[in-house]
Amino acid sequence: MTRRPLLIRSEHMNNGVILQAFQWYLPSDKSLWTFLSRSARDISAAGFSAVWIPPPTKGQAGINDVGYGAYDLYDLGEFDQKGTISTKYGSKDELVECIKMLQAANVDVYADWVLNHRCGGDKIEDVTAVAANKSDRNIISPESFPAKAWTSFHFSPRAGKYSTFIWNAQHFVATDTLVGVDNPDQVFLINGKTFSGEVSFEQGNFDFLMGCDVDFYNAESKADILHWANWFMKTTGIRGVRLDAVKHYPLSFSLELIKTIQPEALEERPFVVAEYWHPEVSVLTAYIEATEGRASVFDVPLHFNLVSASLGGNTFDLRTIFDGSLVQVSPILAVTFVDNHDTEPGQSLQSWVDLWFKPIAHALILLRKDGYPCVYHADYYGAKNDSYSIEPMKPLIDKLLKARHSLGHGEQHDHFDHPNCIAWVRTGDADHQGKMVVIISNGDAGQKRIMSHLPNTEFVDVVGGTPTSIMTDEAGNAEFTCPAGSLAVWVDKTSARIF
């Protein structure tokens, strides 16, 4: 049995929605923080209760680093490092102002924390290395050899401001890059270190991901990260974090970190959501147990169900869409999503939901009572690059958000009784009297006789574009329809005035 989360903010547990406010291919023009500042009221008015921002720390690629090539965590766009003062997204002052503006608009901000590795070392060090097979890290060479590695990080332009800690080879477990050694099939353990036993065991052991892999058992490196976590929370005033790549560092450190930013003395503790990329729900619930129910987790199994449904067309059984998902077994701690920056075409975790199914997928995460949904920047604002393009879904998603906040209340009655056509009803509550019927088809035009809980009432479709209205009978029943391969959101005509 998973524990209830310690943080209970009403918007999180009720109808809150996260906007992932970035995508992989944003221009390197230092404008994101100012854009979000200007857009704060619009984001709030659309119905988002929180924004997930990209890693705000300086990366090894400087102005072109999305943030996952972590270099100096204490540099939020303040120091001339890696060829730039600002990060890809703007300066430290612009970041802090952005957070203030969003929070003033009643939108929480969750920062992306990349802690597993460091990239772009400042100096080469002599090390002793042992080669491990990158595809199966349990296959380790019995022989060590002298080598040189970029494992010294001294951050000279920062000159010890905020932290005087200097990283060296003793603070890392492994690296994939040694000077003069070119073997992409190997990972190199450093100075007698071993991989952790508290990580994912994909590829034998998934302790190492990239760059210089942080040793979380080293007292010095761990202390500096925990110091940084407290410094970051105080400096930015952030109300939540997204933990990147948690399957690559020890479970015990995850718990210690979360407890550090959720001290018992705080009446309202920061929200934490972990990215544990794994398709099996049992793995995700094990992480939840190990972190004492303090962290939510992205619902990766549901994402893969949505991908399968989009690729399967009418051969996919819609009745099974939530089978094996985190939201099915732990609805309070599941952060549901359709796609994100890692799943888009060309990225390492490419698993893109096909465009025809995206409206249906967003209805499945936004119009149901369980889960804390997250909408991806590229789906909302659109995206275009060499790999693909997607038109903005903002008009549709805005309608779904409006339906969620106005009509997504009360009991939920499911009609998951046909492989190609499913539906559900939201009955409203004492404060929200409107009713909503959602019907979805992945095949031919769908039709179901459904109890709407409103007798002799006219319903209209506010999303699917059905031109005619539907009248319920004296018992509240009617034949509700949806177009082929699409959805319809039927609401009583009185409630429809808000759309």
Q: Note if 386 is an active site residue.
A: no
CA distance 479 to 466: 13
3-state DSSP percent of the chain in helix, strand and coil, to 5: 30, 25, 45
Given a contact cutoff of 8 angstroms between Cβ atoms, the answer to whether 463 and 392 are in contact is no
> How far is C-alpha 66 from the geometric centre of its chain's CA atoms?
15
Of the candidates 244, 299, 344, 492, the residue annotated as catalytic is 244
**The pair of three-digit structure tokens given for residue 465, joined into one six-digit string:** 């574009």
CA distance 292 to 168: 33
β pairing state of 172-175 and 186-190: antiparallel
Given a contact cutoff of 8 angstroms between Cβ atoms, the answer to whether 354 and 451 are in contact is no
Of the candidates 256, 275, 354, 370, the residue annotated as catalytic is 275
Q: Note if 275 is an active site residue.
A: yes
Catalytic residues, by residue number, are 244, 275
